[in-house]
Chains A and B, each alone.
Chain A
Amino acid sequence: MRATTAERWLVSEMAISILFVLVALLAIGVFLLFGALAEAYRDIRQLREAAGITDQPTPVDLGKVRDATPSSLGLHPDLDSAVHAVVVYLESRCGTCRTILGTLNGGIPNGIWLVVIAESAAEASEWLAEAAIEGHSPAGRRVMISSAEEVDRNLGVRLTPLAIEIENGRLVRARTIPSARQFYALVPTTFSLNREKQGALS
């Protein structure tokens, strides 16, 4: 009887050791797989960087128009009193612009104003209608329509999609928007508790 108990104890000890060995071997396999996966993602990143499709906004130099008032560039006069707002330039020919507009679904986030670059007001309205943005709706009040020539003349650059940040009624910085994700990252998070100022923000 004693011999049997000792044998059982020995077998259970061996089984536990074998189990630990199996866990260790499995962990080694997982370690190697994660290493290969990390290297594959690094390779993909290098390819993305070479192809210029990394999801990182690029700063754009505003040049002469830095610190200018929005209305002097043909933007809505309400922006001259905005504490913090972002003006986004979109053009129907740009794929990322279409993606961004497609995600709006009839609403523009607070603090964001859109400038739609189109050849005519009718073309812009048609494009906005696809995104369910009506001209007389609250969201439509924050949409401006401009021609490519006007944008060239006012800004000196024509990059789309482009975001220009306005702080205290002045143009402070600009950057490209490579994705819809980066567009929503632009939404200002600072809001005034003052209702009148809140109106200026949005």
Chain B
Amino acid sequence: MPLGADIAVVPVAISCAVLSWAGLEKVRNRAPLSAAVAALGVPRALTAVVAVAIPLAELGAVVAMVAGAPSRLVAGLFAGLGTGFAMAAGWSMLTGRDIGCACFGSSGRRLGWPQLAALPLWLLAAWAAALMRHTSGQERVAALACGMAALAAIRSVPAIRGGIDARNDRRAVAGV
């Protein structure tokens, strides 16, 4: 087994983690993505469809990876999503529109150079997905479980910090 096939697991795993986070945040709250799609100039009738299709494609890429779908399909989804993000950023810059990113749900970040700079990384992940060694179903499901547990742990940090701040302010007002 060539070494490259083993190393290829790393960018694929990172891409799956990024897409899981982005897709789940967009599923939880579709408003920021709908606003970004509308701001890009997509016709109103298609805005809702695109706002649903993007998180589905992101999560679909992860599901395809875990389900052991043909590597070309996974590679195609990685490359397609990365190209789509870069095109949206390029279009917003060309037209001079100031559009919220909505990459990982609601945030103050804007569409622009970061999405363009990420395109080579998405293409690298697509190439790695095509090159990656074959893994068993149980290995992939175990990786998904561990990865999602890690993402949930990371996601808990801002929630816990927010709770501590709220408690301190409650003490400030109520004294207890």
Contacts and interface: CB of A to CB of B under 8 A. Distances in A.
Q: Do A and B come from one complex?
A: yes
Interface of A: 13, 16-17, 20-21, 23-24, 27-28, 30-32, 34-42, 44-45, 48, 53-55, 96, 99, 102-103, 178-182
B151 A31 contact: yes
Contacts of B27: 32
Interface residues of B, number: 31
Contacts of B162: 37-38, 40-42, 44-45
Contacts of A45: 162, 165-166
B134 interface: no
B12 to A, nearest CB: 17
Contacts of B41: none
B142 A20 contact: yes
B134 to A, nearest CB: 17
Contact of B172 (A32, A35, A38, A53): A53
B141 A35 contact: no
A36 B145 contact: no
Per DSSP, are chain B's interface residues mostly helix, strand or loop, or mixed? helix
Contacts of B141: 17, 20-21, 24
A32 B168 contact: no
A20 B144 CA distance: 8
Given A34-B152, A35-B28, A180-B172, 12 more contacts: A16-B138, A20-B142, A23-B145, A24-B144, A31-B148, A34-B155, A35-B105, A38-B162, A42-B162, A55-B172, A99-B175, A179-B173
Contacts of A31: 24, 148, 151-152, 155
Per DSSP, are chain A's interface residues mostly helix, strand or loop, or mixed? helix
B94 interface: no
A39 B152 contact: no
Contacts of A36: 28
B171 interface: yes
B169 interface: yes
A4 B106 CA distance: 54
A27 to B, nearest CB: 4
Given A20-B141, A31-B24, A102-B175, A48 B169 contact: yes
Contacts of A178: 172
A32 B159 contact: no
Interface in B142-176: 142, 144-145, 148-149, 151-152, 155-156, 158-159, 162-163, 165-166, 168-169, 171-173, 175
B172 A182 contact: yes
Interface string B68-95: 0000000000000000000000000000
Contact of A41 (B106, B138, B145, B163): B163
B175 A55 contact: no
A10 B148 CA distance: 26
Nearest to B150: A27
A34 B165 CA distance: 16
A129 to B, nearest CB: 20
A48 B171 CA distance: 13
